[in-house]
Amino acid sequence: MIEQEKVFLQIIYKLKTPSCYDVTLQSRVPKDGKLKGLKSHDYHIFMQQVLPLCLHNLMQEVTRMSFIRLSQVFNKLCLKVIDPSTMPVLRAKVVNTMSTLEKIFPLECFDVMTHLVVHLVEELDLYWLVHSRWMYPMERYMEALKGYVKNVALPKGGMVTSYANT
């Protein structure tokens, strides 16, 4: 593992977050130096708020600023109030950011999922606010339903029986 990765993981390990955060980053960085056990909401918080803090003075300025701009795009995507006049600027920002990252990193690092970031802005333009379509409430509800399972051989029946008895 290169020195920058070690510093990055140490910053994450030592980072103090407010108690309202669902993720405790210290427990997600084991001794092998990989981030493990993050859920979708954890990645959401990580991309928007934690990553720009952790990259400070770690990378070359072009790379660091590209990641920070990407975090800013995700922040704009998740706002509860959006000014329609900022949509063209946001679209240009995400395209420029992704093309800059493609120049910096080898093409093997990019797949369909990284390309979908460009389409998130278009989706915002078509369907409007993103937070109204989040799956986090559904994921939490499914986790609650899984807690009702008593018989692993028949999970659906156990869920229904336990849920009806509450």
DSSP H helical segments within the chain, as ranges? Answer: 3-14, 40-45, 51-54, 61-77, 87-104, 112-127, 136-146, 155-165
DSSP secondary-structure letter at 164?
H
Give percent of the chain with pLDDT exceeding 90: 3
User: Same domain, yes or no, for 109 and 161?
Assistant: no
The pTM of this model reads 0.68
The torsion angles phi and psi of 117, rounded to 5 degrees, stand at -60, -35
- The answer to whether position 66 is within a domain reads no
Domain count, the chain: 3
Same domain (yes/no): 100, 152:
no
1 pLDDT more than 50: no
User: Is 68 part of a structural domain of the chain?
Assistant: no
Q: Is residue 63 in a domain?
A: no
Residue 69 within any structural domain of the chain: no
- CA-to-CA distance for 146 and 127, rounded, in angstroms? 31
Q: Which pLDDT tens digit goes with each residue over 96-130?
A: 998 898 888 888 888 777 778 888 888 877 777 77
pLDDT at 23: 58
Residue 153 domain flag: yes
Distance in angstroms (rounded) separating the CA atoms of residues 161 and 166: 9
Q: Is the pLDDT of residue 85 over 80?
A: yes
Of 9, 27, 58, which marks where a domain is finished? 58
In a domain, 114, yes or no: yes
Residue 96: per-residue pLDDT: 92
The answer to whether residues 100 and 149 belong to one domain is no
**pLDDT for 11-65, tens place per residue?**
877 777 776 665 566 677 766 667 777 777 777 777 888 888 888 778 888 888 8
Which tokens is 9 given?
């993981």
Domain that holds residue 13: 1-58
